Amino acid sequence: MGEPHPPPAAHRPPDRPPALRARALARSFGRGSAALAALGPLDLDLAPGEFVCLVGPSGCGKSTLLRIAAGLLRPGEGELEIRTHAGRPTSMIFQDYGIYDWKTVLANVRFGLDIQRVPRKEADERARTWLARMGLADFAGAYPATLSGGMRQRVALARALAVEPGLLLMDEPFAALDAQLRTLLQDELLGLTQTTRTTTLFVTHSLEEALVLGDRVLVMSARPGRIIAERRPPFGRPRTGAVRDTPACTALKAELWQLLRGEVDGAAVRPAPNGAVSA
């Protein structure tokens, strides 16, 4: 509670080179007097294997940051460097699943492996292994249109993880799901990422989601988004979704909300009971 803490030195984990390193990163859209400063400048380090959650007011530049990290958008100023073990790829998961309706579930999960030119037999095996892990073994031949929202997002997760990414970028991946399904998928994601130790940058509007999943939670300012604070949820690893019900989680949720409410238009923003922030 009280004054926002300054961004601590923990932004720079000292021992190993970061998997993602941003320095003075900024991005605007448009030119001249019509230019809109969307992001930064900000510095950010993600240690290998770290799971970092980003929360911030709507429109503060979270998606812009992820799109730059994914190589979908150029930085305007500053730099962003990704250094993954053995040059492993970056995977991105969007809120709207981003899977192909004209491909079967199996072909969707195999997609990244096909791009990496993994031989067909091995790609099929790896894709089926991931489908089984996600409880979708019986749906390999189905088309996405026949699946529920939760199943589609599991397909997107299986596709993203099948390529064994060195960096996983997730942009509000569970926002379109109902509360129960969202909780289930958070728990599944916890299990998966604690096994794979995949470096992850996860954007969410839900403070609870950020606290349950993250090694660190970074709070962004209003646009142009900069990092104004960070918190480390005091839950060890491996952890389970049971941390949701702890007093520490409730207290941190309230503290994060205090930090955020100074950044958003109080009249337009309402905290939802689960700690979600919407404008």
Ligand X SMILES: Nc1ncnc2c1ncn2[C@@H]1O[C@H](COP(=O)(O)OP(=O)(O)OP(=O)(O)O)[C@@H](O)[C@H]1O
The residue ranges that bind ligand X (CB under 6 A) are 29, 36, 38, 56, 58-64, 223
Q: What does R_g of the chain's alpha carbons equal in angstroms?
A: 19
CB of 66 to ligand X, least distance (A): 8
Strands 20-29 and 36-46, bridge-based pairing: antiparallel
Residues contacting 101, CB < 8 A, separation 6+: 143, 144, 145
Distinct helix (H) and strand (E) counts, the chain: 7, 11
CB of 46 to ligand X, least distance (A): 18
CB of 226 to ligand X, least distance (A): 12
Decide whether 26 or 162 has the Cβ nearer to ligand X.
26
Decide whether 66 or 212 has the Cβ nearer to ligand X.
66
Decide whether 11 or 223 has the Cβ nearer to ligand X.
223
CB 79 within 8 A of CB 243: no
Structure tokens, 184: 């289930």
Structure tokens, 73: 């958008």
CB of 277 to ligand X, least distance (A): 9
CB of 113 to ligand X, least distance (A): 29
Decide whether 126 or 223 has the Cβ nearer to ligand X.
223
Decide whether 192 or 269 has the Cβ nearer to ligand X.
269
Using CA atoms, how far residue 148 sits from 111, 114, 154, 204, in Å, is: 20, 25, 10, 21
